[in-house]
Chain A
Amino acid sequence: MNLPVIIKFVIDLLAVLLLALGIKGLSKVKSARDANRLAAFAMSLSVVGLLSYYLGTSGIAIQSWIWIIIGSIIGSLFGAILAKKVPMTSMPETVALFNGCGGMSSLLVALGVAIFPISSSVENFDFFKSLINEVSISVSIFVGAITFTGSIVAMAKLQGWLSTPGWTQSKVRHFVNIVFAVASLIAFFDLINGSTSSIWLLVIVSSLLGIGVTLPIGGADMPVVISLLNSYSGIAAAAAGFVVDSQLLIVAGAMVGAAGLILTQVMCKGMNRSLVSVLFGGSLSAQSTASSGSGEYTNITSCSVEECALTLEAANKVIIVPGYGLAVAQAQHTLREVTKKLEQNGIEVVYAIHPVAGRMPGHMNVLLAEADVPYEQLKEMDVVNPDFPATDVVLVLGANDVVNPQAKNDSSSPLYGMPVLDVQEARTVFVIKRGMSAGYSGIKNDLFDLPNTSMVFGDAKKVLNDLIGELKDLGVGEK
Chain B
Amino acid sequence: MSFISLLWVLLLGSLLGLELIGKVPPTLHTPLMSGANAISGITMLAALTLIVKAEGNLPLLIIGSVSLGFALFNVVGGFFVTDRMLAMFSRKPSNKK
The answer on a CB contact under 8 Å between A29 and B68 is: no
List residues 370-385 of chain A with CB under 8 A from any CB of chain B. Answer: 370, 372-376, 378, 380
Q: A98-B37, A101-B73, A366-B31 are in contact. Are A108 and B17 (CB under 8 A)?
A: no
Complex Cα–Cα for A92 and B6 (A) = 34
**A185 — which chain B residues lie within 8 A by C-beta?**
none
> Which of A67, A78, A227, A246 is the one whose CB lies under 8 Å from B64?
A67
**B37 — which chain A residues lie within 8 A by C-beta?**
95, 98-99, 102, 230, 233, 256
Q: Which of A213-221, A257-265, A289-297, A451-459 contacts B (4 or more CB under 8 A)?
A: A257-265
- Which A residue sits closest to B68, measured CB to CB? A71
**B47 — which chain A residues lie within 8 A by C-beta?**
71, 105, 108-109
0/1 string, B25-56, CB within 8 A of A gives 1: 11111111111111111111111111111111
Complex Cα–Cα for A271 and B77 (A) = 28
Q: Please tell me if A411 contacts chain B, counting CB pairs below 8 Å.
A: no
Q: A26-B35, A29-B28 are in contact. Are A68 and B51 (CB under 8 A)?
A: yes
Q: Main secondary structure on chain B at its contact with chain A? A: helix
> Which of A129, A254, A360 is the one whose CB lies under 8 Å from B3?
A129
Q: Please tell me if A39 contacts chain B, counting CB pairs below 8 Å.
A: yes
> Which of A101, A247, A362 is the one whose CB lies under 8 Å from B6?
A247
Number of interface residues of B (CB under 8 A): 87
Q: Please tell me if A145 contacts chain B, counting CB pairs below 8 Å.
A: no
Q: A80-B80, A98-B78 are in contact. Are A26 and B31 (CB under 8 A)?
A: yes
The answer on a CB contact under 8 Å between A360 and B50 is: no
**B45 — which chain A residues lie within 8 A by C-beta?**
46-47, 50, 244, 246, 248-249
- Which A residue sits closest to B12, measured CB to CB? A251
Q: Please tell me if A310 contacts chain B, counting CB pairs below 8 Å.
A: no
0/1 string, A25-47, CB within 8 A of B gives 1: 01111001101110110010011
Give the size category of A's interface with B: 35 or more
**B54 — which chain A residues lie within 8 A by C-beta?**
63-64, 67, 116, 118
The answer on a CB contact under 8 Å between A375 and B92 is: yes
The answer on a CB contact under 8 Å between B30 and A361 is: yes
Of A92, A120, A247, chain B has the most CB atoms within 10 Å of the CB of A247
B45 to chain A, nearest CB (A): 5
Q: A26-B28, A70-B65 are in contact. Are A95 and B33 (CB under 8 A)?
A: yes
Q: A67-B62, A243-B46, A374-B96 are in contact. Are A105 and B71 (CB under 8 A)?
A: yes
Q: Please tell me if A252 contacts chain B, counting CB pairs below 8 Å.
A: yes
The answer on a CB contact under 8 Å between B13 and A251 is: yes
> Which of B21, B26, B27 is the one whose CB lies under 8 Å from A259?
B21
Q: Please tell me if A94 contacts chain B, counting CB pairs below 8 Å.
A: yes
- Which A residue sits closest to B30, measured CB to CB? A362
Q: Please tell me if A6 contacts chain B, counting CB pairs below 8 Å.
A: no
The answer on a CB contact under 8 Å between B30 and A360 is: yes
List residues 52-97 of chain B with CB under 8 A from any CB of chain A. Answer: 52-57, 59-93, 96
Complex Cα–Cα for A75 and B67 (A) = 9
**B55 — which chain A residues lie within 8 A by C-beta?**
61, 119
**B90 — which chain A residues lie within 8 A by C-beta?**
32-33
**B34 — which chain A residues lie within 8 A by C-beta?**
91, 94-95, 98
Complex Cα–Cα for A22 and B15 (A) = 16
The answer on a CB contact under 8 Å between B23 and A366 is: no
A375 to chain B, nearest CB (A): 5
> Which of A120, A244, A256, A363 is the one whose CB lies under 8 Å from B36?
A256
Q: Please tell me if A270 contacts chain B, counting CB pairs below 8 Å.
A: yes
> Which of B11, B66, B76 is the one whose CB lies under 8 Å from A80?
B76
Q: A75-B72, A118-B50, A244-B46 are in contact. Are A27 and B77 (CB under 8 A)?
A: no
- Which B residue sits closest to A240, measured CB to CB? B46
> Which of A29, A84, A256 is the one whose CB lies under 8 Å from B27?
A29
* Cβ-closest 8 pairs across A and B: A258-B17, A79-B77, A254-B13, A75-B72, A83-B80, A71-B68, A75-B69, A108-B67
The 22 listed contacts between A and B (C-beta, < 8 Å) are A26-B36, A27-B24, A43-B44, A71-B64, A71-B65, A75-B68, A79-B80, A95-B34, A98-B34, A98-B78, A99-B37, A102-B40, A108-B47, A118-B53, A248-B42, A249-B43, A250-B9, A253-B43, A255-B20, A259-B17, A360-B33, A362-B31
- Which residues from chain B sit less than 8 Å from chain A, CB to CB? 1, 3, 6, 9-18, 20-57, 59-93, 96
